[in-house]
Amino acid sequence: MKAIVIQASPNTDGLTAACAEAAIAGLKDGGVEAELIHLNKLNIGMCEACERGWGTCRTEHQCQVKDDFQALHAKTIESDALVLVTPVYWWEMSESAKAFTDRIRRCEATLKDESRLFEKPVIMIAAAGGSGNGTITCLASMERWIQHVRARRFDMIPVNRWTKDYKFVTIRSAGEALAKDMLSKN
């Protein structure tokens, strides 16, 4: 059993990165393999809405824009669970998280219950440094993505700089619980 943890911040030692590390630790504590992916180290551009929005994403469920998206899309499909950790920018996901989720939504949402993410358990984490604002709005957007691709919302965790110490414990516990859930279905 394997989970992937996608960390969507350019900062590899900030609040978002610490949240991702807590998720990795929890998943491993729970007995599953966990891989950390630094989204900002990949070349994943925004959706180009090819062919007026009717490109291969809608017909073949594969993006025709060639970059690092294809490999991450495949890895997401092959994984048994997903954790997406994003910083909160302007009450939303980071631009890299938005680009990834927009493109995978186009490939998977039109499959409806045949989505290759159908019932895949997902933990979403919104980490707001700075003002600490926007986590709930960001998580609401992330929840819509889960619904569109027909994944299963396992947990959604808001974090800010004032709550980070106990939220790291929460994230680690959520990762461990997710691992146990994955193993119970194997």
Amino acid letter, 27: L
Residue 183 makes CB contacts below 8 A (sequence gap 6+) with 1, 30, 31, 32
Which pTM was predicted? 0.96
Closest-CA residue to 171 (of 2, 8, 35, 5): 5
- Number of structural domains in the chain: 1
Q: How does pLDDT run along the chain (186 residues), one tens digit per residue?
A: 999 999 999 999 999 999 999 999 999 999 999 999 999 999 999 999 998 888 899 889 999 999 999 999 999 999 999 999 999 999 999 999 999 999 999 999 999 999 999 999 999 999 998 889 999 999 999 999 999 999 999 999 999 999 999 999 999 999 999 999 999 987
CATH number of the domain bearing residue 81: 3.40.50.360
- Owning domain of residue 138: 2-184
